[in-house]
Structure 1
Amino acid sequence: MPPLSAPLLLDATLRTVARRYRLPASAAAISKLHPASPATTLALAIEQARAATARGETPAAALKDRFIDALAQLIREALRAGAGDPVFQAMVMRHRAAHVREYASLSAGAGQDGRQVRQAVNAIAHPGRQQRIAPGPQREALARLHASASASSWSALHDTARTLLDMQGIANEAPGLTRLLDDPALKRLQRLEALASDDLVRQYQTLWDRHAPRAGSAGANAQGVTARQRGAATEALAAQALRALAQRLNEAEKAQVSYRVVTSMRVPASIPATHERAKTEWDVVLLRQVLPIAETPAWDICLLAEAKASVDAATTDLPKLLRGLRLLAHADKDVVYAFETQQGTVRLHGAALSALRADADGLAGTVLYCCDAPAEPRPRLLGAASRMQLLSAQASLEFASALAHAQAADPAALAPVWHQLLESPRWRSVLNQYPTLRQVRELMVHPDDLMAAINRAGDGTGA
C-alpha cells in the first residue's frame, strides 16, 4: 500500500486509535457489568429522565420513586461511620451546627486574612526594623509580635500588639498598631483560632483531613508535588506521541507542509472575547504551516491535546475546554496572533482559529484528552461531580441531618432534588451527565494507543 498523504494519515490516526475508555451510547448497555448499587441506579434513572425529557415526555412516577429511593440509599452509605464519605459527613456537620458553618466560612478566607495581617506586622516589626531599635523591652515585644505572626498565633499577636501600644516611646508605631488591632482580618483570625478548640469543630476538621491533607501542611505540599509530577509525566507522553505524529506528517508531505509541536501554549489577551473560566493554556498542540513560508510566517492549529490523570479530571475540565475553543474561535480572521509557548513565541492565523468548532464533530477532529490511567473494567456511571451535587442539595443535607440525629427520615423529603434535576438550569450538567461522560471518554486516548495508531497509519496499515 502506498504511503498515505498527511491529511489521510492524520485522519487514519484519529479514526483508528484505540479508545479504551469509550462507553456505549446507552448507559443501560453497561449496567449489567455493575453490581446493583445506589450510584448505578441513580445514574440509570437520571439518564432515563434525560431521554424522556428529550422526547418531550414527562418521566414516569415509578422512575421518580426509583431515583428517590436510590438517593436515600446513597446518603445512608455516605454517612456510614468509618466507611462512608468524610467530605459529605463534614458537609452534614456544617449544615447542622452554626458554629461549624462559621468556622468553615472563616477558614475559607484565612489565607488572605493571614497574609494581610503579616503584611501589617512586617510594616511594624520586620527583623530589619527591629535592629534599628535599642535592645530592651520594646525590641523584645516587636520580636514576639513578628514571631506570633509567623506562627499564626493570633491571640498572642493581639495581646503583644496591645502591650506594645501601652509602652512609652512607641509613638512612631502607634498608628500602625492601632490599625492592626482594629483590623477585621485579625478579629476573624482570632475567632477562627477560638473556634478551632471546639469538639465539634475538631471532628469536622478531622473529617476533612481524612479526605485530604490540610492546606499548607507538609502532606498537602507533598501531595501537590506528586500531582504536578504525575501531570508533567502524562503531558510529556502526550507531547512525545504528537512529535512522532508530526514527524510522520512531515515525511508524508514531501516539504509542501511543515508540522511541529508546542507545549503550554498560552492564549493572548488580544483575542476579542472574555477569557473568564475558559481554558487559556493548552498542554500540547500540533501546528501546521504551508510551505514555502510567507513573508509573515504563521501556523494553523491542527490538533489540541490535554493531559489528564483520570477520567474524572477530564470530565470536570470539559466545560472549560469548550469555553477555551469558543474563545479561540472569536479570533479575527484577518489578524495573526502571537502565542507564548515553552518553545518560544508562535504566530497563528486568526482565520484558522476562527474556524475552530466546539460541537461534537468539531471536537472529534481537533481535541484529544491523553490519559495514562488504566481503563476500569467497570466504568463508573455516576460522575464524581454529579454525585457530590446530589449529596449537597439542601434536601439531601436535611435528610442526612435527620439520619445523623437518629430521627425519623422520610425519603419522600428528597423529592425536591428530583424536581430540581428536571427543572433547574443549575442541574443541567447532572441531567446530562452520562452524555457528557461518554463524550469525554470518546475524546480520551492512552498515549501508548496513540503511538501505536501513528505507527500503523505511517506504515499504511491504518487506513
Structure 2
Amino acid sequence: MSVPFLLQETLRVVPRRYRLPALPAASDDLSKTQPATALAIVIEQARRAMARGEGLTASMKHAFVDSLARLIEEAMRDVSGDPVFKATLLRHRAAEVREYVALSEHAKEDRRSIRASVNAIAHPGKHRTSSERQREAFARLHAAASSPYCHGLADIAHDLLSAPDIANDSPLRQWLTRLVESPSLLRLQRLESLREDERVRQYVALWDKNGPRSGSAQAAAQGNASQKRGTAAEARAARALRVMADRLNQEEGADRPYRVVTSMRAPATIPGSAERAKSEWDAVLLRQAIGSDETPLWDVCLLVESKASVDAATTDLSRLLRGIALLAHAEENVAYAFDTSQGAVHLRGSSLRELSTDEGSLQKSVVYCCDAPFEAAQRVLGAGSRMQLLSAQPSLEFAIMLEDGQAADTQTLEPVWDQLLHLPRWRSVLDQYQTLRRVRELMVHTEDLRTAIDEVSARRTLPGGPTR
C-alpha cells in the first residue's frame, strides 16, 4: 500500500529529540569516560565484532572489567550511590533479608487466606447466639485478621482456645487449632518478627528511597496518578493522529476516507503465536479500502503507541515487534474484525501482511509518542542492562570485598564478560545499545508530531507546493 505524502513527509521531518547521539569511538583507554558510557561502548564494540565474525581483543575485556568495577564503586557511594543496588547487595549478604524477601512475596496471598478463614467462622454475623464474651473475642479476632499486621491474631486465637465455652465446642476448637498452626499465619508471624531485624530494616529503608512500597497507600496513589497521566498522554497522541486524518481527508476527498481508532485489540483469529506479543494498540490511522462501501474494510497506515518515558518504550519494544510479526501473519484474502473504543473495524489481511519488523518498514509504520522532557545527558546504557550487570554474582562478590575493605581484584569480574558473550540470558544486554538506538529512532514528542503535521500541511497549500 502506498504511503500518503502528508504522512510520509511528516514522519520524515518531525524532530526526533530522543534520538541517541553517535556512540563515542572506542579507544584503548576508557578509564576517563563515565563508567556506564564506557560499558556501553565496549559492549557495542564486542557485539559488532562478533556480528562480523571477528575475534575479541584482550583490551576489550580489560576495558569491560575496569568499567564494571568503576560502575560498582559508583553505585556503592554513601551519598550518591544507588539504593536499589545497595539493597540487592544487602539481600545477597544477609540470610535474614533473603528470608524476609521470600516471605514478602507470599504475604498478600497469606493474608487473603487468613482473612477468608476467619471470615468463615468469626464474622460478626455468624455468632448471634454465642455468649457476650465469645462474641467480643470473635469480633477482636475478625478485626485482627483485617489488619495489615497479624501479631494480635494468634494471641486472640490462643485466648479463645483456653476459654471454657470453647473447650466443649469441638468444631470451634479444631478450627482455632488449625488457624494458629496454619502455615500462612506462621509465615506472617515470622515476617513480622523479621521486620525488627536491623539488616531487614536497613533493606526496607533502602527500597523506600526508590519509591513507595508495593501495596501501600502511597504506591496506590502514585499508580493512580501514573494511570491518569498515561491516559492523558494517549488522548493527546490520538488527537494529533486525528488532525493527520482530517488533513488527509481534506486533501484526498471522501472516496477513501481516513479515520483514527484507539485501543485496537488484535483478534485471536490471526494465525501465528500471540505469546508475549502486543495485542492492543493505543491509536491507529486507518484508510478505507477501495470498493468496500457496504461493509467498510480498512488498511493500516500508522500504528501509534504512547509511552511516559524512554525506559518504558525500551522495555516495550520486544512486545511491539512480536505484535507486528503477529499481525503480519494475517491471511491475504481474509478480513479480520478488531475491537476498538469506536466499535469493531474490519482490517484487510493483505494490509496487515505488509507490516514488517525490519528497520525501514518500522520507520514508516510505527511511532512511539512520548511527553517526557528531553534529556540533556542521554544515557547509552539502559537501566535494565545496568542493573543486570550490577546484580551478577561476580559483581556482588566484588562489591562485598570493597565493602569489607579487602583488596578487590577486577579479575573477579571476568566471568561477567564471558557470560555476556555466551549466555542467552545476557543477549539483551549485548544488544542493548542497538535496541536503545532503535527505540529512540521511533520516538517523537507528541507536540512535535502535531507541529510537523501543521507545517507539512501548510506547505502543501502554498502556491507551488508539492502535489500528490
| Most deviating of 89-98 and 288-297 | 288-297
After superposition, the Cα gap between the structure-2 partners of 1:188 and 1:396, relative to the gap in structure 1 and judged at 3 Å, is same
Q: Residue 136 in 1 paired to residue 120 in 2?
A: no
Which of 42, 47, 62 is 1:45 aligned to? 42
Q: Residue 146 in 1 paired to residue 142 in 2?
A: yes
- Cα contact 1:6–1:253 (8 A) shared by 2: no
- Cα contact 1:6–1:249 (8 A) shared by 2: no
Residue 267 of structure 1 corresponds to 266
Q: Residue 423 in 1 paired to residue 422 in 2?
A: yes
Q: Residue 203 in 1 paired to residue 202 in 2?
A: yes
Residue 102 of structure 2 corresponds to 105
Aligned partners of 2:352 and 2:263: how far apart in 1? Answer: 17
Aligned partners of 2:124 and 2:186: how far apart in 1? Answer: 24
1:249-292: per-residue Cα shift (whole Å, max 9, x none)? 11222112121112222233343444332222211111221255
Aligned partners of 1:327 and 1:186: how far apart in 2? Answer: 46
Residue 160 of structure 2 corresponds to 164
Residue 82 of structure 1 corresponds to 79
Aligned partners of 1:322 and 1:127: how far apart in 2? Answer: 54
Aligned partners of 1:184 and 1:420: how far apart in 2? Answer: 39
Residue 116 of structure 1 corresponds to 113
| Most deviating of 94-103 and 317-326 | 317-326
Please state how far the C-alpha of 1:415 moved relative to its aligned partner: 0.3
What stretches of structure 1 of length at least 5 have no aligned partner? 30-34
Residue 241 of structure 1 corresponds to 240
Q: How does 1:319-338 map to 2 (within 5 A)?
A: 319-338=318-337
SS across alignment from 2:257: strand
Q: How does 1:177-216 map to 2 (within 5 A)?
A: 177-216=176-215
Q: Residue 22 in 1 paired to residue 16 in 2?
A: no
Aligned partners of 2:39 and 2:92: how far apart in 1? Answer: 24
After superposition, the Cα gap between the structure-2 partners of 1:37 and 1:116, relative to the gap in structure 1 and judged at 3 Å, is same
Please state how far the C-alpha of 1:26 moved relative to its aligned partner: 4.1
Residue 253 of structure 1 corresponds to 252
Q: Residue 359 in 1 paired to residue 358 in 2?
A: yes
SS across alignment from 2:296: coil
Aligned partners of 1:301 and 1:173: how far apart in 2? Answer: 65
Residue 32 of structure 1 corresponds to none
Please state how far the C-alpha of 1:376 moved relative to its aligned partner: 1.8
SS across alignment from 2:339: strand
- Cα contact 1:6–1:252 (8 A) shared by 2: no
Q: How does 1:31-70 map to 2 (within 5 A)?
A: 36-70=33-67
SS across alignment from 2:9: helix
| Most deviating of 364-373 and 278-287 | 278-287
SS across alignment from 1:344: coil
| Most deviating of 78-87 and 358-367 | 358-367
After superposition, the Cα gap between the structure-2 partners of 1:346 and 1:187, relative to the gap in structure 1 and judged at 3 Å, is farther
Q: How does 1:385-404 map to 2 (within 5 A)?
A: 385-404=384-403
SS across alignment from 1:365: helix
SS across alignment from 2:254: coil
Instruction: Give the aligned residue type for 1:157.
Output: L
Aligned partners of 2:404 and 2:239: how far apart in 1? Answer: 55
Please state how far the C-alpha of 1:168 moved relative to its aligned partner: 4.1
Aligned partners of 1:346 and 1:199: how far apart in 2? Answer: 59
| Most deviating of 255-264 and 346-355 | 346-355
Greater relative contact order (Cα < 8 A, sep 6+): 1
Q: Residue 13 in 1 paired to residue 10 in 2?
A: yes
SS across alignment from 2:368: strand
Runs of 4+ with deviation above 6 angstroms: none
Aligned partners of 2:316 and 2:178: how far apart in 1? Answer: 43
Residue 440 of structure 1 corresponds to 439
Aligned partners of 2:168 and 2:257: how far apart in 1? Answer: 74
Aligned partners of 1:341 and 1:121: how far apart in 2? Answer: 43
Instruction: Give the aligned residue type for 2:328.
Output: A
After superposition, the Cα gap between the structure-2 partners of 1:121 and 1:354, relative to the gap in structure 1 and judged at 3 Å, is farther
After superposition, the Cα gap between the structure-2 partners of 1:313 and 1:403, relative to the gap in structure 1 and judged at 3 Å, is same
TM-score (norm 2): 0.90
Aligned partners of 1:182 and 1:145: how far apart in 2? Answer: 15
SS across alignment from 1:357: coil
Aligned partners of 2:381 and 2:423: how far apart in 1? Answer: 19
After superposition, the Cα gap between the structure-2 partners of 1:276 and 1:214, relative to the gap in structure 1 and judged at 3 Å, is same
Q: Residue 342 in 1 paired to residue 338 in 2?
A: no
Aligned partners of 1:40 and 1:291: how far apart in 2? Answer: 51
After superposition, the Cα gap between the structure-2 partners of 1:129 and 1:267, relative to the gap in structure 1 and judged at 3 Å, is farther
Instruction: Give the aligned residue type for 2:430.
Output: L
| Most deviating of 272-281 and 170-179 | 170-179
Aligned partners of 2:332 and 2:125: how far apart in 1? Answer: 56
Please state how far the C-alpha of 1:354 moved relative to its aligned partner: 3.5
Instruction: Give the aligned residue type for 2:51.
Output: A
Aligned partners of 1:127 and 1:392: how far apart in 2? Answer: 49
Aligned partners of 2:181 and 2:256: how far apart in 1? Answer: 67
After superposition, the Cα gap between the structure-2 partners of 1:275 and 1:165, relative to the gap in structure 1 and judged at 3 Å, is farther
Please state how far the C-alpha of 1:230 moved relative to its aligned partner: 2.0
**Considering only aligned residues, what root-mean-square deviation do their CA atoms show, in Å?**
2.3
- Cα contact 1:149–1:157 (8 A) shared by 2: yes
- Cα contact 2:261–2:340 (8 A) shared by 1: yes
Aligned partners of 1:12 and 1:79: how far apart in 2? Answer: 48
Please state how far the C-alpha of 1:179 moved relative to its aligned partner: 4.3
Please state how far the C-alpha of 1:69 moved relative to its aligned partner: 0.9
| Most deviating of 310-319 and 167-176 | 167-176
Aligned partners of 1:352 and 1:183: how far apart in 2? Answer: 58
Please state how far the C-alpha of 1:174 moved relative to its aligned partner: 4.9
Instruction: Give the aligned residue type for 1:362.
Output: S
